[in-house]
Amino acid sequence: MNTKLPFATTSLRVGAGFLIWAAHFAAVYVYVALVCARGDPAAQWLGTSTTRLNIGLITLIAVALLGYVSWQSLRGTWHDDMQRAAQPFLAWLGAAIALFGLLAVLWTAMPALWVALCRPV
């Protein structure tokens, strides 16, 4: 059976990886900017910078969401919906974009996790 999916639903499913990466990018860099401008970048919890722990938490959430999008695109209901709509390429494309988003999320988090956060001017 060939059922048609709404354009907005299809677009969001295919572009979810980019949207998650963009949200992660904005969250990490806005958070670090706020900490450097107003917070205490030297704050520690369990011997680790709280800023780095929060960035790690934001990154883990993004990675989990990207894993969910990949799974939905390859095996879940999104995949089934695309198969019924005779658009299997879009399911594959959604998974590929989510995996690209995973790479981008890790690339975004690396400097924030390993480089000195706030340098005096």
Structure tokens belonging to residue 96: 């590929």
Let me know if residue 22 belongs to a domain: yes
Let me know if residue 6 belongs to a domain: no
Identify whether the C-beta of residue 14 lies closer than 8 Å to the C-beta of residue 97.
Answer: yes
Let me know if residue 65 belongs to a domain: yes
Q: What 8-state DSSP symbol labels residue 116?
A: -
Let me know if residue 5 belongs to a domain: no
What pLDDT, on the 0 to 100 scale, is given for residue 121? 57
- For residue 1, the SS3 value is coil
Whole-prediction pTM? 0.86
Q: How many domains does the chain fold into?
A: 1
User: In tens digits, what is the pLDDT along the chain, a chain of 121 residues?
Assistant: 567 888 888 889 899 999 999 999 999 999 988 888 887 767 777 777 788 889 999 999 999 999 999 999 998 888 888 888 888 888 899 999 999 999 999 999 998 777 776 766 5
What pLDDT, on the 0 to 100 scale, is given for residue 78? 81
Q: Give the containing element (helix H, strand E) for 47.
A: none
Identify whether the C-beta of residue 55 lies closer than 8 Å to the C-beta of residue 113.
Answer: yes
What pLDDT, on the 0 to 100 scale, is given for residue 62? 97
Query: In terms of residue numbers, what domain contains 66?
Result: 12-114
Give residue for tokens 């975004």.
108
CA distances from 63 to 85, 86, 89 (A): 28, 29, 23
Q: How far apart are CA 119 and CA 33, in angstroms?
A: 11
DSSP 21-37: HHHHHHHHHHHHHHHHH
Q: What 8-state DSSP symbol labels residue 4?
A: P
What pLDDT, on the 0 to 100 scale, is given for residue 41? 66
Let me know if residue 119 belongs to a domain: no
Let me know if residue 43 belongs to a domain: yes
The distance of Cα 20 from the centroid of its chain, to the nearest Å, equals: 4
